[in-house]
Amino acid sequence: MSRQSNRTTDSKKMNSELFTLTYGALVTQLCKDYENDEEVNKQLDKMGYNIGVRLIEDFLARSSIGRCQDFRETADVIAKSAFKTYLGITPSVTNWSPAGDEFSLILENNPLVDFVELPDTHSTLIYSNLLCGVLRGALEMVQMAVDVRFVQDTLRGDNVTEIRMKFIKRIEENLPAGDE
Amino acid sequence: MADEAPFQFLHNEVIQYLFKSAENRETENGRNVTKLENMGFRVGQGLIERMTKDTVRFKDELDIMKFICKDFWTCVFKKQIDNLRTNHQGIYVLQDNKFRLLSQLSAGKQYLEHAPKYLAFTCGLVRGALSNLGVKSIVTSEVSIMPACKFQVMIQKM
């Protein structure tokens, strides 16, 4: 980085390392607080959910994307638009189930894990589990109940990072959305 | 380059998490601010390491503070510190008239009692950055009208 300050007017962009490092600090803190990977995973998912519930508003307001016609379109919007906007990556969408209600997101380089190495003592920790919560929370706000989980993670020795998403049901409009 | 929104949401969630866990134990409030501050410290250390790897050596303490006010602040909050004052005896006051983490909260005195929570992380950020530049310090914050705030940096002589 040069010493000259680059006073860009594009204030929406921010050094992504700040986000990565902050997330790392959070996971570290959670590991100290809980001492049990399962609990940490759960907490990360919960925090992600809270973020997703709010993030969807920001996303819809900025992207002028309307209601999705089917789950395939949803997958496209998530991969090409949402991930691009917020994390600067475009995961590929693969492994569709025959019924078209399940697919995988393959993350090439997950920005959350930029400087991360998992110690052996945390073999069951799903480091980026926040993302699952975010996706679940955001989709719930557009009337979609979806199951989201990591099935592969490069941090744990897999070749790729894969998030599996399974459509469960459409949430009826007149019912109040489930609260955490 | 990631978007700014994820950081802001994450920051809010971190605050929520730390303070919700202590709601029924009021005495722990101080400890939560410390936790938040320590998280900021680690992040500040990491950030400054990455930012300064190609810069020339700093001349003196003031030069370091200027770097924090200009480059570091721009990198993190996309603007410079509006005013830097010092008594030339190791106390610096950094004033930001439109602090990014407060600007969404209010423009006035509403929610003023919550402001310290939203500044603790940044205090740590500054302290961590300075610490990796070889300057030991204590950083505190002060808000009288949001979204303006002041950070006071007290340099500890080694």
ipTM: 0.90
Structural domain that includes position A110: 2-170
Which domains, and CATH codes, for chain B?
Answer: 4-155 (3.30.1380.20)
Whole-prediction pTM: 0.88
In-domain check, residue A85: yes
Q: Which candidate, B105, B106, B104, B119, places its Cα nearest to that of B149?
A: B119
Which CATH number belongs to the domain containing residue A147 in this structure? Answer: 3.30.1380.20
Q: Is B6's CB within 8 Å of A25's CB?
A: no
In-domain check, residue A51: yes
Q: Does the beta carbon of A18 lie under 8 angstroms from any beta carbon of chain B?
A: yes
Structure tokens at A173: 């409009």
In-domain check, residue A179: no
Q: Which candidate, B131, B135, B126, B137, places its Cα nearest to that of B61?
A: B135
In-domain check, residue A176: no
Q: Is B46's CB within 8 Å of A26's CB?
A: no
Q: Is B1's CB within 8 Å of A13's CB?
A: yes
Number of separate domains in chain A: 1
pLDDT tens across B107-140, in order?
Answer: 988 888 889 899 999 999 999 999 999 999 999 9
Write A62-65 long-range contacts (CB < 8 A, 24+).
none
pLDDT exceeding 70 applies to what percent of chain B? Answer: 92
Interface contacts A/B by beta carbons within 8 Å? 116
Chain A nearest CA to B112, separation (Å): 23
pLDDT tens across A79-120, in order?
Answer: 999 999 999 899 999 999 999 999 999 998 888 988 888 888
pLDDT on residue A175: 59
In-domain check, residue A39: yes
